[in-house]
Structure 1
Amino acid sequence: MSPNLPPPADFYSADSFTSEPSLGWLLRQIKQSMVLQADKMLGAHDLTHAQWAPMLRLRFNGPMSSAALARELAMDGGAMTRLLDRLEAKNLVRRDRSVEDRRVVMVSLTEVGVNAMAAAPGVLSKVFNDHLAGFTDHEFRTLIGLLQRIVANGHAIRDAGLSSESSTLVDKDD
């Protein structure tokens, strides 16, 4: 067990596991709903989730390598290349070879891309606020803190080179 990782919880078990109230299922439903609503609103700007998601990363993080962008969005390199081809054809992004390492392709927003993403923060703020209807400030801050703990646990598992299977499952016959 990694020193950065607390012992695993025991909220789920194989004997009682169901998908619908599971953390993964709930998070997926939330993400799908938010993406659907954002797509409806950003569609007016001729942007789909596949397009605005990487552009949003570039808007907030600045230019980054295509490999880093693919990692951030959990995409394989080939899919990222095809997506960047489409974005480049729409003059939304630009790809340039790194001056430090010619093997690295840096991606940045064009002026057209910057203008296209101008509406994104407002749209996403509305979508998120709509999904948080009825939450108090304290509940919102608690939710964010809890989700950040889950993310940190995931990073600690990854950094320790562990998989959830290797770190928590034990053969019942042992």
Structure 2
Amino acid sequence: MSTFSETQNTQKPLFIAFPIVVWLAFMVFAVIQLYNYQTFGTPLGDEGEEMPLGVFIGIMILMTLTFGFLEFLVLRLELKVTVSSAGIYFEMPPMKKPVLFKPGEIEYAFVRKYYPIKEYGGWGYKGWFRRNRAYNVSGRWGIQIILKNNRKILLGIKEKEKAIIALEQIGFNKKP
């Protein structure tokens, strides 16, 4: 009996570079504002509503910490999917703890092509408060799981052929 195991992560150049570029643009704007304030006396904030310098610097620090935290989350985010005789196991640290769906809990499980933006609004942990959830990092292939209580979970994968073989070996890969 073969098992299928795959780990996807977000350590791609775009995921790393985009937040840094946005942060740098914010910092350039902030430095220009501070320069104008110190050199020309241009007020910080809207006309007539000058912002105190301490508040402006506090906002800069808060934004820097926020961007740093988001970058940390993006770099740590990964999806681990395993299909074995024990069932379908997945985890998405740091957002989702490990979950194992045993074969007795699963009504259907099959590999399908999906459209992340059209169906779920993008990649990541989608459908927090719905019965239809998706956990994906990249790609367009996923293992669609329909539980006996009618909950639906989609787990993003890249190696569809290996996933199909593993699902067939545990008695699944049949659509409803």
Structure 1 and Structure 2 fold alike (TM over 0.5): no
TM-score (norm. length: structure 1): 0.25
Structure with the greater alpha carbon radius of gyration: 2
- The structure richer in strand per residue is 2
TM-score (norm. length: structure 2): 0.25
- The structure richer in helix per residue is 1
